[in-house]
Amino acid sequence: MSNATTTGGPGGERPGPDGSDALDRARAAVAQTRSAAAAWAAKTATQRAAALRAVGKKILGQADELAQIVHRETGKPLAEAYSADVLNVADLFGYWCDRGPSILAPRPGRIPKLEMPGKRAEVQRVARGVVAIIAPWNFPVAIPMRGMVPALLAGNGVVLKASEHTPESGRWLVQRLREELGPIVACLEGAGEAGAALIEAQPDLVLFTGSTLTGRKVAVACAERGIAFDCELGGKDCAVVLDDANVQRAAAGIAWGIVNNAGQNCASVERVAVHEAIADTFVPALVKRLEQTTTDVKELVTADQKALVRGHLLDAADRGGKVLCGGLPDDPEAVIPPTLIGDLPSDAAAWRDESFGPIAVLTICSDDDALVAAANDSQFGLGASVWTADTDRGLRIADQLDTGMVWINNHAFTGAVPDLPWVGTGNSGGGITNSPDALVHMTRPKMVLVDRNSKFEPWWYPYGDSMVALMKAVVKKQRDGGVGTLFATLGALNRRMKDVG
């Protein structure tokens, strides 16, 4: 984790000039949020949903202001600031406020009536307490909100550690939430030092989105402190183009997957595997589409990220890669254009490691098995797309891909669909955002049982021979079934109850 540049206070206020009190500010943010969390969790999920719905309306009412902040901080086109970070707010709040209370409702427990009479149980989903969200800079509204809304709905308090590269976006979000909800939400600004301090301040759950390297550090730090964590990490998504694909549509969709947000997306298309039978028509179509997107590609957000992408391009050149479009600008200050590279070995950095920029590598494969092998040749396992006119064939390919998500004839847009899990495997981590599955981490199960049985229990002391006989009868009933074993079990139970009572 890098050194902090700024560290905001609990409400998102800016720190003093020295920025030296990261841990104090983190502890204050967690303590303040924890104090408010008890009253918030005591509300019903329906009451919390009503309060959150008001927040959603407030944010949408100021959508233009928020889009401009995202555009200014990230450099992404204003159209992408709206489509990727702002407009999905409506669906996000709508989904969780409409469906969340029923998802969070207690479920009845199934209890064997014969062996355990007179008992009723339910399994509740209760808030963990304080959820710390360590957010990245590439989608400074969409990604933290995907965690914040369900976490708050479940009754948690939230401390957002906004990226040091997009502090205004995080501060703006928390201010809107605090205006409606009060100190149940806090903001901590800063770089790696602020994130480390937030973990040290002992929240109850850490949700981290970012690189695999940093995610491992977060996981270790949380494990050492007994803190639950959920890490959604990097990706190296592959687009698999079958020989029956709609060439023009696949080229347009994959070009968007490569260039969207200047490639600064964990689910960007960074590898393209195309069937040799279609390569002569598909590759020129993809190159044409990429060249048409040049005006929509902006500068990468950080200098370090630009240096990494340039390093991948230099390595590709050293390994004899063929630049099909774009390429490394001579001027190190110039914007890196949409770039497609062919003829690279699979151990090249641009094939093996996450680039997080508007570049992709191309490989041509002889058949479906080779396409699957190329797509699975990665340490990451976030997403992949399959492009084909035959849906059944696409589904067969999807079943063989080692990823958390597969899109057939599209790519990666489902981050904006609240009901669909965003999840990976391998070095992409096992973190889950969106869908009811995300609540597995944001809540903990709590079982409550009511026993109305007035008799002694057959498993109580003293044991004796009747206890062993009953256990054997139950095993036989479970194994063989039938009316005879049922009556035998009832007889063994009656004898056992005489010994216990």
Tokens for 39, please give them.
Answer: 């009253």
Tokens for 271, please give them.
Answer: 């590898």
- HEC profile of 169-232: HHHHHHHHHHHHHCCCEEEEECCHHHHHHHHHCCCCEEEEECCHHHHHHHHHHHHHHCCEEEEE
Beta strand 339-342 with 359-365: parallel, antiparallel or unpaired? parallel
Active site annotation includes 179: no
Active site annotation includes 232: yes
Given 232, 238, 270, 365, the catalytic residue:
232
Residue 113 is predicted with a pLDDT of 87
Tens digits of per-residue pLDDT, 131-164? 999 999 999 999 999 999 999 999 999 999 999 9
Average pLDDT score over residue span 54-75: 96
pLDDT-based confidence at residue 256 (cuts at 50, 70, 90): very high
pLDDT-based confidence at residue 114 (cuts at 50, 70, 90): confident
Q: Where in the chain is the domain with CATH 3.40.309.10?
A: 237-417
Q: Looking at residue 416, what DSSP letter applies?
A: G
Preceding peptide of 462 cis, ω within 30°: yes
Query: Which of 192, 184, 76 is closest to 140 using CA atoms?
Result: 76
Tens digits of per-residue pLDDT, 189-232? 999 999 999 999 999 999 999 999 999 999 999 999 999 999 99
CA distance 153 to 141: 18
10 Å CB burial of residue 243 (0-12, 13-18, 19+) is middle
Residue 501 is predicted with a pLDDT of 81
CATH code, 237-417: 3.40.309.10
Average pLDDT score over residue span 383-393: 98
Q: Where in the chain is the domain with CATH 3.40.605.10?
A: 22-233+436-446
Tens digits of per-residue pLDDT, 335-370? 999 999 999 999 999 999 999 999 999 999 999 999
Q: What DSSP string describes 219-286?
A: HHHHHHHT-EEEEE----EEEEE-TTS-HHHHHHHHHHHHHGGGG-STT-EEEEEEEHHHHHHHHHHH
Cβ-Cβ contacts under 8 Å for 185 (sequence gap 6 or more) = 33, 148, 152, 157, 158, 159, 160, 174, 177, 178
Q: Write b or e for each residue in 293-313: b if 16 or more Cβ atoms lie within 10 A of its Cβ, otherwise e.
A: beebbbbbbeeebbebbbebb
pLDDT-based confidence at residue 268 (cuts at 50, 70, 90): very high
pLDDT-based confidence at residue 8 (cuts at 50, 70, 90): very low
CATH code, 22-233+436-446: 3.40.605.10
How large a percentage of the chain has pLDDT more than 70? 96
Given 187, 222, 266, 325, the catalytic residue:
266
